[in-house]
Amino acid sequence: MLLKELSALASPLNDQQIGQLQQAVAELSPQQLAWISGYFWGLSQTPATAGSNPQPLAQAVATAAKPAGKLTIIYASQTGNAKGVAEALEAKAKADGVAVSLYSADDYKPRDLAKETHLIIVASTNGEGEPPDNAISLHEFLQSKKAPKLDKLQYAVIGLGDSSYEFFCQTGKDFDAFLSKQGAKAILPRVDCDVDYDAEAESWSADVLGKVKDTLVGEADEVVVPLHAATSAGAASAYSKQNPYAAELVANQKITGRDSGKDVRHIEIDLGESGLTYQPGDALGVYYTNSPELADEILAKVGLTGDESVEVAGESISLRQALIEKFEITASNPQQVAAIAELSGSKKLQKLAEDKDKLRQYANNTQVVDVLSEKKTKLTAEQLAGLLRKLTPRLYSIASSQEEVGEEVHLTVGLVEFQHGENTRLGGASSFLSQRAEDAASVKVFIEHNNNFKLPADNNTPVIMVGPGTGIAPFRAFMQERDARGADGKNWLFFGDRTFTQDFLYQVEWQKFLKDGLLTKIDLAFSRDQAEKVYVQHKIVEQGKEVWQWLQDGAYFYICGDATYMAKDVHEALITVAQEHGGKSREDAENYLNELRKAKRYQKDVY
């Protein structure tokens, strides 16, 4: 009998009791329902004490099992990867009957740590080893004198990062150290995952949840019944990173001039009837295939034909197909270079492997095929496959608002192109979108929501945007969105590139925004249009008095683009502005900007 049929039949329960029962069992598994039925039968065999009130149904179910605590999962996420792992952990915990609560780090009250019994932190790392914006307060709290003793807490930490960067998984390492220092006991050793993290994160999640379940439940035959476990906001989309949508590329237009030293494309992709939705500030994940010519060049370097079979994710396919569709064959990484050094015996690579900084710099600037070229070495198919990472999707800042473009999504893609000796090397995803995607049957995509890069909810709030080069992309979306909202807040853009005539991306659109009054101010920095190079950070200092006034009026400040140099230089420019026009010391200026970040008034989307 279904619960919804109870009210239509003769029943010993009144409507209120039926409602309580429906609410209580709504999220239970078949195993849990079977256990509950036995528990209720046992209750029915126990005579009620005269004059006593029967336990409400929801309360009876909730007290059926008595766990030794509950599990809390906190994610520190900048672009959404850590959030995705945390949500998968939450789903697995619920399926296992574990009472669980899921929090974004900025929604969690740090003082509640003292009340926790079991904690899992999923942490990505931002910039130069910094915590993601949503985790700044928690990170600071655990370093402060306010951090409580946590000797009753059992915890686990998983870090997500990219080993190409110096401070690999630093935020995860920090949280692990902070919790341990306060007396918390690790359920499992911390795991630091590289860009190809899916399999490792899934395996670790299964292990840690097994340990958590063992310690949370006192007896093996008891089942925890989570009546009020936290649930994720909103229903999951039919399409995701794990199930991307096969979309059609409908436009590919070069938007740099004929004589520009850059090839930047405006890409339009039709989301069709996918039901995918996004907000300005979100990113589009793009799965791509590698250049067949590059795959052939790599095969020739190591003496293989490509017809050899390899196993990838349980599937046996030809090595050439795997290089094109399954493996990352453009960007190299430090571990890979060190492994090639050992296999090849290259003295140059072995010397690089002894210096972490030089190794990282070399890997960041040398593609896989050119690392293999350092010393001719024959490899087996298994050896070559063992050197390569799994191909992962690239994330691109979305350059459109759905209020403006409907079921489309727009991107601003700069073709990665450089010379290595006599060879021209191209980026994997950027060359696919620029040169090969139109010939493909489809482009597999998904939306990566980014809650750390969003327009203010108040349409009257002023906005300052700094987006040189392809960093302009999300700000085009911001303007389309503010236009659609009828927002009255002022908007100020700082844009820079090489030359005005060749590299002013979306020039006509920005001039129209300015003419229509939607864009209040625009400051341009074209580095090669005069003898002395001028960049966006110089313009910010030059306009420092007005920038400071906008900030005092509540403006939000956004940066999008290069993390290595530009974002740091713009940050320094803001420090200078706070010192010169706010009368602050260096330390006070840093603290001021940190407070802006916590208030989500200073946001970055950098790469």
Is there a binding annotation on residue 93?
Answer: no
Is there a binding annotation on residue 327?
Answer: no
Is there a binding annotation on residue 366?
Answer: no
Is there a binding annotation on residue 412?
Answer: yes
Is there a binding annotation on residue 523?
Answer: no
Residue 110 CA to residue 175 CA, distance in Å, equals: 13
Residue 3 CA to residue 54 CA, distance in Å, equals: 21
Is there a binding annotation on residue 309?
Answer: no
Is there a binding annotation on residue 200?
Answer: no
Is there a binding annotation on residue 85?
Answer: no
Is there a binding annotation on residue 167?
Answer: yes
Is there a binding annotation on residue 361?
Answer: no
DSSP, res 48: P
Handedness of CA 215, 218, 223, 227 (dihedral sign): negative
Residue 191 CA to residue 156 CA, distance in Å, equals: 9
Is there a binding annotation on residue 78?
Answer: yes
**Measured between alpha carbons, how far apart are the two ends of the chain, in Å?**
56
Residue 450 contacts residue 283 (beta carbons within 8 Å): yes
Is there a binding annotation on residue 414?
Answer: yes
Is there a binding annotation on residue 104?
Answer: no
Q: Which has the closest alpha carbon to 458: 575, 555, 343, 537?
A: 555
Is there a binding annotation on residue 82?
Answer: yes
Is there a binding annotation on residue 537?
Answer: yes
Is there a binding annotation on residue 124?
Answer: yes
Residues 375/378/381/386 CA torsion (nearest 10 deg): -40
Is there a binding annotation on residue 346?
Answer: no
Is there a binding annotation on residue 264?
Answer: no
Residue 158 contacts residue 175 (beta carbons within 8 Å): no
Is there a binding annotation on residue 427?
Answer: yes
Is there a binding annotation on residue 534?
Answer: yes
Is there a binding annotation on residue 44?
Answer: no
Is there a binding annotation on residue 165?
Answer: yes
Is there a binding annotation on residue 84?
Answer: no
Is there a binding annotation on residue 547?
Answer: no
Is there a binding annotation on residue 607?
Answer: yes
Structure-token match 């949508």, residue found: 245
Is there a binding annotation on residue 421?
Answer: no
Token code pair at residue 520:
């209040």
Residues 233/403/250/512 CA torsion (nearest 10 deg): -140
Is there a binding annotation on residue 281?
Answer: no
- Cα 93 off chain centre by: 22
Is there a binding annotation on residue 79?
Answer: yes
Residue 133 contacts residue 78 (beta carbons within 8 Å): yes
Is there a binding annotation on residue 160?
Answer: yes
Is there a binding annotation on residue 127?
Answer: yes
Is there a binding annotation on residue 419?
Answer: no
Is there a binding annotation on residue 535?
Answer: yes
Is there a binding annotation on residue 570?
Answer: no
Strands 602-606 and 556-561: parallel
DSSP class per residue in 490-536: -EEEEEEES-HHHH-TTHHHHHHHHHHTSS-EEEEEETTSSSS---H
Is there a binding annotation on residue 430?
Answer: yes
What residue numbers does the annotated binding site cover? Answer: 77-82, 124-127, 160-169, 330, 364, 394-397, 412-414, 427-430, 527-528, 533-537, 569, 607
What residue numbers does the annotated binding site for FMN cover? Answer: 77-82, 124-127, 160-169
What residue numbers does the annotated binding site for FAD cover? Answer: 330, 364, 394-397, 412-414, 427-430, 607
What residue numbers does the annotated binding site for NADP(+) cover? Answer: 527-528, 533-537, 569
